[in-house]
Amino acid sequence: MNNKTGGIIATIASALFCGLPGIVGCLGGIWFAAGAPGGEVNDQNFSTLGVTLICVSLLLIAIPIVVGFLTLRRKTNAAMPYVMPAAVPPPAAAPMPAPFYQQTPPPMPPAPPAPPAAQSAPPAMDASARTVYDRIMALNRPTAPYQIIDGRSQNVDLIAEWKIVDARWYDVFGKANLTKVFRIHMKLDPARREVRAMDQELNVSWRAGVPSLSFEASFFKGQKSSISFGTGYAFTETLAPGQVYKYKFNTNELKKPIQEAVAACGWTYKGIAFGKL
């Protein structure tokens, strides 16, 4: 409740409990002063009582006037609250360099970085195709051993591949001793609401723990149902509680999430074995 509302309530209350009885008392005092009840003015007792009653009544009438004046007037001389200025923190001291025996040696030069997961300017396409494109690209996450990248450099819309050439994943794929991997090239066909996909198999050769990919003589282009790996090693990806993925780096583990994303958009995933996408 603000001050103005409280002043109005106080004025009304004082008018009801003081002002109204004062008006009634004033009228009664005039009646008694006039010589009531007999109407004779020479009755000294009634005259004195009437004058007294009039004085008391005038004081009662004055109370709501004074209350209203004191509570509803504008306080022009009210002091403005003082606001403390914000404290300016002292400048942070520069960190002291660690002793030479605690300093981390400079890292080895990293391998060439993997292609970016997305281009800064996505290709132009209609709304339905854009939804499918974004849904497939949303499968990317740092903990997954595969990635989906924009494929315009290869004249396709999307490319799905294992992160085998990413230096941060050398150890994972090296333990699996992979000798073959594959990529999926995809094109979006809005007219047929299809994602046309073609697999490409690549040979993997390891030298000093660094993989090298090549097509060589065993080049394959079409649809692969499975690709074997060298050892029984499996990589486990753990996300939220209850979400655990065990990878053996076969074709289904890369295709299935894409096929589910395409189906969720009402499109069809169509594998192409011959011809062009």
- Per-residue pLDDT at 19 exceeds 50: yes
Percent of the chain exceeding pLDDT 70 equals 60
Outline where the chain has alpha helix (H): 3-14, 20-33, 44-72, 127-137, 170-176, 251-264
Outline where 177-276 has alpha helix (H): 251-264
Q: Indicate the pairing of strand 194-207 with strand 210-214.
A: antiparallel
Instruction: Give 100-138 pLDDT, tens digit per residue.
Output: 445 555 555 555 555 554 445 677 888 999 999 999 999
pLDDT at residue 153 in the model? 92
Categorize the per-residue pLDDT at 79 as very low, low, confident or very high, splitting at 50, 70 and 90. very low
Categorize the per-residue pLDDT at 268 as very low, low, confident or very high, splitting at 50, 70 and 90. very high
Outline where 102-250 has alpha helix (H): 127-137, 170-176
Model's pTM, two decimal places? 0.53
119 CA to centre of own chain: 24
Q: What is the mean pLDDT of residues 209-220?
A: 68
Categorize the per-residue pLDDT at 194 as very low, low, confident or very high, splitting at 50, 70 and 90. very high
pLDDT at residue 8 in the model? 76
Which range among 39-43, 148-152, 180-184, 257-261 shows the weakest confidence by mean pLDDT?
39-43
Spatial contact of 183 and 199, defined as CB atoms under 8 Å apart: yes
Question: What's the burial of 57, exposed, middle or buried (CB within 10 Å: 0-12/13-18/19+)?
Answer: buried
CA distance linking residue 39 with residue 34, whole number of Å: 7
Sequence-distant (≥ 6) Cβ neighbours of residue 152 within 8 angstroms: 119, 123
CA distance linking residue 158 with residue 155, whole number of Å: 9
- Per-residue pLDDT at 218 exceeds 60: no
Give, as one character, the DSSP assignment of residue 145. S
Categorize the per-residue pLDDT at 78 as very low, low, confident or very high, splitting at 50, 70 and 90. very low
CA distance linking residue 262 with residue 264, whole number of Å: 5
pLDDT at residue 117 in the model? 47
Q: Would you kindly state where each structural domain of the chain is located, as residue ranges?
A: 3-72, 127-271
pLDDT at residue 41 in the model? 47
CA distance linking residue 201 with residue 215, whole number of Å: 7
pLDDT at residue 76 in the model? 41
CA distance linking residue 161 with residue 255, whole number of Å: 10
pLDDT at residue 59 in the model? 74
Q: What is the mean pLDDT of residues 221-249?
A: 70
How much is the mean pLDDT over the chain?
76
Instruction: Give 138-176 pLDDT, tens digit per residue.
Output: 999 999 999 999 999 999 999 999 998 899 988 888 888
Categorize the per-residue pLDDT at 222 as very low, low, confident or very high, splitting at 50, 70 and 90. low
Q: What is the mean pLDDT of residues 243-268?
A: 91
pLDDT at residue 38 in the model? 54
φ, ψ for residue 226 (rounded to 5)?
-165, 155
